[in-house]
Amino acid sequence: MKNRKHWTYAALALAGGIIGGAVSNRLLPADGIAMASARAARELKAERFVLVDHHGAQRGILQVNQRGFAEIALQDESGHTRTEMRVSGDGVAALGFFDLNGAKRLIVGETPSGRDGVALYSTSGRQLASFSVAEDNQSSVTLYDPNNGRARVGLGVASNGEPALVLFDQNGRDRAELHVTVKGNPGLALADASGKTIAGLPVEAAAQSQQ
């Protein structure tokens, strides 16, 4: 532990680039598909399909949107989109669940870089927790401050098998770290607001990290 390792378990970036907002409830008119005329067809090709209930109200949509996303969206009886499944043009895949106000509450996704994960959100749409696994098999759980969205707790296992627990302050700065090396040696480090180590165990390792 000559140099104190900063274990960073960043938020799984699913909210902005993968799922985005809820699908519009007016993508197609409710009578946009004549299912009877397609009864004998073996193959149907279209950019959009609309699922309607017995009263003709839209309950779902299957389409490739203007951004090139292949997506399926399902709506409740009030027309609110409650779940979406999307695959973007560059291969990002995600499944999202939304509340009655259209705010995302749960996202499950996979990125082309090989990072997979689950993200949970508050009623205001702020991320509260995430679990992710990277392509190199590093795994992490991150908990966020519900007031400002910054990471407060990170728990992870590095690709070499070393576990670590990290605590962050209200500004998202790494203030305390506890880890165990692959050789079984435990370590504890405390840092000030600037990131400088102010205490640690073993003592010799903490002193060297300040040099």
Model confidence pLDDT, tens digit, residues 106-122: 999 988 878 899 999 99
Model confidence pLDDT, tens digit, residues 128-174: 999 999 888 999 999 999 998 899 999 999 999 999 999 999 988 89
Report the 10 Å Cβ neighbour count for 101.
11
The tokens describing 141, both together, are: 């759980």
Cis, peptide link before residue 186, omega less than 30° from 0: no
- Give residue 35's pLDDT: 40
Task: With cut-offs at 50, 70 and 90, classify the pLDDT of residue 101.
Answer: confident
The residue ranges of every structural domain in the chain are: 15-149
Task: With cut-offs at 50, 70 and 90, classify the pLDDT of residue 1.
Answer: very low
- Give residue 39's pLDDT: 53
The tokens describing 126, both together, are: 């702020």
Cα separation, 22 vs 15, whole angstroms = 11
Q: Are 120 and 128 in contact (CB under 8 A)?
A: yes
- Give residue 40's pLDDT: 59
Per CATH, the number for 15-149 is: 3.90.930.1
